[in-house]
Amino acid sequence: MKKQDCIFCKIAAGEIPSKTLYEDEKFRVILDLGPATRGHALILPKEHSADLYVLPEETAGEAMKLAKKMALLLRDKLHCEGLNLVQNNGEVAGQTVSHFHLHLIPRYSDDGQKINWIPSSPTQEELEAVRKEIAE
């Protein structure tokens, strides 16, 4: 997709209105239009990167710093009891907008959400085979 067709580029630039919680030179933080829970927010870098694979390292670090700041703000203001950070890359992983974004999902004991995976039970040998494949 071309940058000029990217909806999150337009939102981050302020060309399309959004429920903005925070903005600085490099980022805009907005409320998700289809929130998983009350206060579900998205951190959008203003510079287009399709996903984590191509996100500049420096921006990745700054996004995580901002996530911490926003997490504290959400806890302080909304009194959530926990928070999920979610970041999808690729269609198979549930990415629907090809502009890197970090989800901040406040959690409440009665929110009825499930943001978890189904655990499997590999053997020690299977785990070791994966470790080798990745790390050696």
SS (H, E, C) 25-83: CCEEEEECCCCCCCCCEEEEECCCCCCCCCCCHHHHHHHHHHHHHHHHHHHHHHCCCEE
Site string for Zn ion, 89-108 (x = CB under 5 A): ----------x---------
Task: Give the C-alpha separation, 107 to 96, whole Å.
Answer: 22
- Please, is 85 exposed, middle or buried when counting C-beta atoms within 10 Å of its C-beta (0-12, 13-18, 19+)? middle
Considering the rule CB under 5 A, would residue 9 count as an interface residue with Zn ion? Answer: yes
Contact between 28 and Zn ion per CB under 5 A:
no
Whether 48 is catalytic: no
43 binds Zn ion per the rule CB under 5 A = no
Q: Give me the least distance between CB of 88 and ligand AMP, in Å please.
A: 4
Task: Pick one of 1, 7, 115, 129: the residue that binds ligand AMP (CB under 6 A).
Answer: 7
Name the residue nearer to Zn ion (CB basis): 8 or 27. Answer: 8
Which positions are catalytic?
A: 101
Residues within the interface to ligand AMP (CB under 6 A)? 7, 11, 18, 30, 32-34, 88, 94-97
